Amino acid sequence: MRNVLTIAGSDSSGGAGIQADLKTMCALGVYGMSAITAVTAQNTQGVYDVQEIDAAVVDGQIRAVFEDIRVDAVKVGMVSSAAIIAAIRKRLLASGAKNIVVDPVMVSKSGYPLLRKEAVEAIRGLTEIADVVTPNIPEAEILAGFPVKTVEDMRRAAELIAERGAKNVLVKGGHRIGDDAGDLLLTGGNCVFLRAGRIDTKNTHGTGCTLSSAIACRLALGDTVEEAARAAKKYITRAIADAYEVGKGTGPVGHLTALYRKARMDTGPV
């Protein structure tokens, strides 16, 4: 069994953050562990409040895991302050962490800011130690410093982020207008476009968290970066197609639908 640590915020509605990460890890057959950076009050309609966890406590959670358990990959998601980001960076370096996947979460799907403005530079420092960075288009625009509209813009943004230290960059294309929801992966100096048609659903809560966690899982299982990105893209595409009708707003993707189907087949109607 491979072990994957997620460092991220908690989503009370269960569709994103720590909860999405652990569901993804379960679905992909790894042992999931967590260090919580913030507690959010949110549901499918929006984020209403955020309480950060003290940076020393975040550091302590990460340290406790590394001191006791082999960590085969790390996913870093929502980190809202420069102090927390600095603590994570320092601890991961001190622990010799490998297969680090950084999802630079900045704004929730409902528009709630999840990263303080003064912490943007700190998040750039975290991407410098990442094996894979997975910004969506708005996040890539902030990290790169220019508008990202086309596939060529995605390539330029990925190259600039890589120049600043990230070993591999996946710019997610879900925010692009049109039928193509493909992502651009920069790995080994080469660009690979991971094509995917756009699925007609409003239920896409947790897509970024899920994709980055899936990449971390596949890296832990021994995939190359390109293999991990392709497998994660296939998983998230199916999860979006299997999204749940939960709540009154943007529902979560279907992290565990294959397991749920099997459980119903094994036990009968539930």
HEC sequence for 46-96:
EEEEEEECCHHHHHHHHHHHHHHCCCCEEEECCCCCHHHHHHHHHHHHHHC
DSSP 121-149: HHHHHHHTT-SEE--BHHHHHHHHTS---
- Residue 87 in tokens: 């603590």
Say whether 29 is catalytic.
no
Pick from 191, 203, 201, 200: nearest CA to 246: 203
Measured between alpha carbons, how far is 101 from 130 in angstroms, rounded to an integer? 6
Pick from 127, 31, 14, 133: nearest CA to 72: 31
Measured between alpha carbons, how far is 106 from 114 in angstroms, rounded to an integer? 5
- Secondary structure of residue 253 in the 3-state scheme: coil
Q: Which of 24, 134, 204, 237 is catalytic?
A: 204
Instruction: Indicate the burial class of 167 (C-beta count within 10 angstroms; 0-12, 13-18, 19 or more).
Output: middle
Q: Which of 23, 75, 109, 172 is catalytic?
A: 172
Say whether 26 is catalytic.
no
Q: Are 31 and 2 in contact (CB under 8 A)?
A: yes
Q: Which of 209, 210, 237, 251 is catalytic?
A: 209
Say whether 167 is catalytic.
no
Task: Give CA angle at 84 (81, 85), nearest 5°.
Answer: 85
Q: Which of 14, 206, 251, 254 is catalytic?
A: 206
In the chain, the N- to C-terminal Cα span, in Å, equals 30
Measured between alpha carbons, how far is 184 from 173 in angstroms, rounded to an integer? 7
Say whether 209 is catalytic.
yes
Say whether 37 is catalytic.
no
Say whether 207 is catalytic.
yes
- Residue 260 in tokens: 């749920």
- Active site (catalytic) residues: 172, 204, 206-209
